[in-house]
Amino acid sequence: MAQRDTSSVGAPCWVDTWQPDPQGAKEFYGGLFGWTFDEAPGFEGEYWKARLDGRTVGGVGQAPPGSPAGWLTHVRVRDAAKASALAEQAGGRQLGAIGAGSRLVADSAGVLFCLRQAGVNDGVGMADQPNSWAMSSLHTPDLATARAFYGTMFNWELTSPPESPFSLWLLEDQLVAVAATTDGVAVPPHWSVNFAVTDADRTAARAVALGGGMVMAPMDSPGFRSAVISDPWGGVVAVSGVTG
């Protein structure tokens, strides 16, 4: 995946999965990516930071009762409470705090993501390396509305390279995320999370062996071989390895 900004205010800076069985999820993702975990205080319910070679790569938390498993992308902001209020003003929704300096919100299409206050919660310590977070991608039925919402929230600009299935989110000319149009039915609106791997086929097979599922079998795209997998509780991630 392309190198992108994770350190600036307004950039996606963290990913985590909220699970009905976080202990099982730790075993699954630890076995899949070689992560280790340490408990992190300050969140609603149990929460662990995932590490690779000692550096943080994301988190695993206890989902509220009845909530499905899933992955969330966090965007760094100066003030999470003010940014949450701005999300509502821009056509989204405020959904409450999920820990010190972290707020859950929905965008104008109902897509969930988190606001992560700078200075309270750090971002990832490793990205863009095998078995770490490579990119987050907004899948939305209305790119024009998304452009207005995320432009208001974070000053993101959207550009669409010729003959590319993805558009690029830029913050002051730095790549921060990508976007794609979905019909909203076969592929519901969501922020997807993609992890870099050395071998997408091997990782996908490993996910199945660990009790997960195959949502999209490994396939080639320019420069990458990618697959979409699910964990045993229904959380979905993409994995991509560089080719060529």
DSSP per residue, 173-190 = TEEEEEEEE--SSSS-SE
pLDDT tens figures, 5-34: 888 999 999 999 999 999 999 999 999 999
pLDDT at residue 158 in the model: 96
pLDDT tens figures, 42-71: 565 689 999 999 999 999 999 989 899 999
| Cα dist from 220 to 200, 208, 224, whole Å | 10, 20, 6
Cα torsion angle, 119, 195, 49, 110, sign: positive
Contacts of 94 (CB under 8 A, 6+ apart): 84, 85, 87, 88, 103, 105
| Cα dist from 155 to 10, 25, 92, whole Å | 7, 35, 16
pLDDT tens figures, 130-153: 999 999 999 999 999 999 999 999
Provide the 3-class DSSP secondary structure of residue 10: coil
Tokens of 108: 């104008």
Would you say residue 244 has pLDDT above 90?
no
- Please give the DSSP secondary-structure letter assigned to residue 68: P
Cα torsion angle, 137, 142, 147, 152, sign: negative
Strand partners, 139: 180, 190
Would you say residue 162 has pLDDT above 90?
no
pLDDT tens figures, 88-133: 999 999 999 988 889 999 999 999 999 999 988 889 999 999 999 9
Domains along the sequence of the chain with CATH: 12-117 (3.10.180.10), 133-242 (3.10.180.10)
Cβ proximity of 120 and 131 under 8 Å: no
Would you say residue 232 has pLDDT above 50?
yes
Q: Torsions phi, psi of 53, nearest 5? A: 55, 35
